[in-house]
Amino acid sequence: MVGDTTRRDILRHVGAGAVATPLLGGPAAATVGSDTTEDDTPAVAPAFAGEFLIRPLATAASPTAIRFGPGDGGFGDPGAGDANPDLYAATLGGSVVRYHPEGAADPPVQAQGPKNDALVVSDSHMNDNTGRTDGVVYLVESDGTRKCLVDGLPNGRHNTNHVAFGPGDNDRLYITNGNTTDDGCEGGDPEVLPYSGAILAVDLDEVEEDPAVLSWVDENGTRIPPEAIPDHSVNADFAEGVDVVAHGFRNVYGLAFDHDGTLHTGMNGADDPASPDVFYRLDEPAGTDYRYPFCFNTGPVGGTGDAVRLEPNPAAPGHDCHVFDDVDDQSDLDCDEADHPTADAVVGWHACATGLDFPSHGAAAFPDRFRTDAFMGECGTFTPLASAERTTESMDGRNTGHSVAHIPIADGEVGGVEDFLTGLSLPTDVLFGPEGAMYVADLEAIHRVRPLPG
């Protein structure tokens, strides 16, 4: 996410395939402040009625990620001076827009802040050698020049998603890379494990000097089979420079560190109702395998602890793809919960878990009881199928999607999942600002949520 020091300023563009428009062009329309009113938004906080003020901060064309970065002192606490940043939004159309309380930046920002800081952006593009979609992460200098940092990340059905720097002295760059298929075989290009469906980390200084590029062809230009790509000699430098923080996910999306430095993420489950969206607190050793696509997390919506189970993927065996080559029956899928961690909470089927964050300090900060809790966007399904499935046993409980979820966490234990904001369209990101307020990127707006005075 956008940090508070030079070259730790980060935005993420959620691209559905290649971006057709210039990634850092100016906004088609963007307004802030008095041009929107509280009555324009349907968002409500049903569980916390009377505690919070919710109003649209800005209209925006399909924002996909929001971060704070260098600015003119727009959104911080009064008197904070240079510590007050502006709000940046990446959009589905390919723009990165900077906002401050007086309106969108004028002239439109071309990826630069006033201090000549750089942005780190993730995206997807077509691989000319394979015809499949690869993820790419690059640095955008203040003059708009792009410098590749990481390329060749294997995805397809899902994208290279959020990026964030580690907290405190941990200034490594963390990347969520969605997997390539729906269920391990069908609905996309072949998986390349452990890089498909993974959280990766790189040292920014190292990849600035020598980009990490996963090659899909050997020294002779011959395409490498997907199962052989990770260990092929042409990818030795990539394997050395890119660490697998955790793998065994489907569409792993947002990521956020809590105040103790523990990483958290949400994952979109498969189209099968047996595979709901889930929430993870990643406190296992680096490189832990969370077992997708071999196993699904199952359990009641909002379930935590022993209520969350690992079950064999019902699509395997039976699929003819390299991922399940060694699977003769479901006992070969290795879903023993004694050996592999389960998710920390079941969010719901097709809830579409997106960006997440933890409360921050400031004049508009949330009450202390929320301090260790996570808040995560749920953009919901794009089809009516999930609505029908909500009548099934797996969907008993909260009506998931088009909302911001509140996930209580105490002493490292996740306490459930409940609605915090409902009535949203397609929320894609949640971010707490330097003054403590919550910002939510929705389909056509950015909302600001703060406690009511008194």
Q: What is the pLDDT of residue 392?
A: 37
> Is 389 contained in some domain?
yes
Q: How confident is the model at residue 405 (pLDDT cuts 50, 70, 90)?
A: very high
Backbone φ and ψ of 87, nearest 5° = -100, 130
User: Which structural domain, as residue segments, surrounds residue 431?
Assistant: 9-451
Q: What is the pLDDT of residue 105?
A: 40
3-state secondary structure the chain: CCCCCCCCEECCCCCCCCCCCCCCCCCCCCEEHHHCCHHHCCCECHHHCCCEEEEEEEECCCEEEEEEECCCCCCCCCCCHHHCCEEEEEECCCCEEEEECCEECCCCCCCCCCCCCCEEEEEEEECCCCCCEEEEEEEECCCCCEEEEEEEEECCCCCEEEEEECCCCCCCEEEEECCCCCCCCCCCCCCCCCCCCEEEEECHHHHHHCCEECCCECCCCCECCHHHCCCCHHHHHHHHHCEEEEECCCEEEEEEECCCCCEEEEEECCCCCCCCEEEEEECCCCCEECCCCCEEEECCCCCEHHHCEEEECCCCCCCCCHHHCCCCCHHHHCCCCCCCCCCCEEEECCCCEEEEECCCCCCCCCCHHHCCCEEEEECCCCCCHHHHHCCCHHHCCCCCCCEEEEECEECCEECCCEEEEECCCCCCEEEECCCCCEEEECCCEEEEEEECCC
Domain count, the chain: 1
pTM, rounded to two decimals: 0.85
Q: Tens digit of pLDDT for each residue in 218-228? A: 999 999 999 99
Average pLDDT, the chain: 79
> Between 154 and 318, where is the model more confident?
154
> Is 4 contained in some domain?
no
> Is 1 contained in some domain?
no
Q: Could you give the percent of the chain with pLDDT greater than 70?
A: 77
> Is 241 contained in some domain?
yes
> Between 81 and 346, where is the model more confident?
346
Q: What is the pLDDT of residue 108?
A: 33
Q: Tens digit of pLDDT for each residue in 133-151? A: 899 998 887 677 889 999 9
Q: Tens digit of pLDDT for each residue in 189-244? A: 889 999 999 999 999 999 999 999 999 999 999 999 999 999 999 999 999 999 99
CATH of the domain at 69: 2.120.10
Q: How confident is the model at residue 42 (pLDDT cuts 50, 70, 90)?
A: low
212 vs 132: CA distance, rounded Å: 19
> Between 177 and 60, where is the model more confident?
177
Q: Tens digit of pLDDT for each residue in 18-36? A: 222 222 322 222 223 323 3
Q: Which of 40-54, 100-114, 356-370 has the lowest mean pLDDT?
A: 100-114
Q: How confident is the model at residue 86 (pLDDT cuts 50, 70, 90)?
A: confident
Whether 139 and 120 have beta carbons less than 8 Å apart is answered as: yes
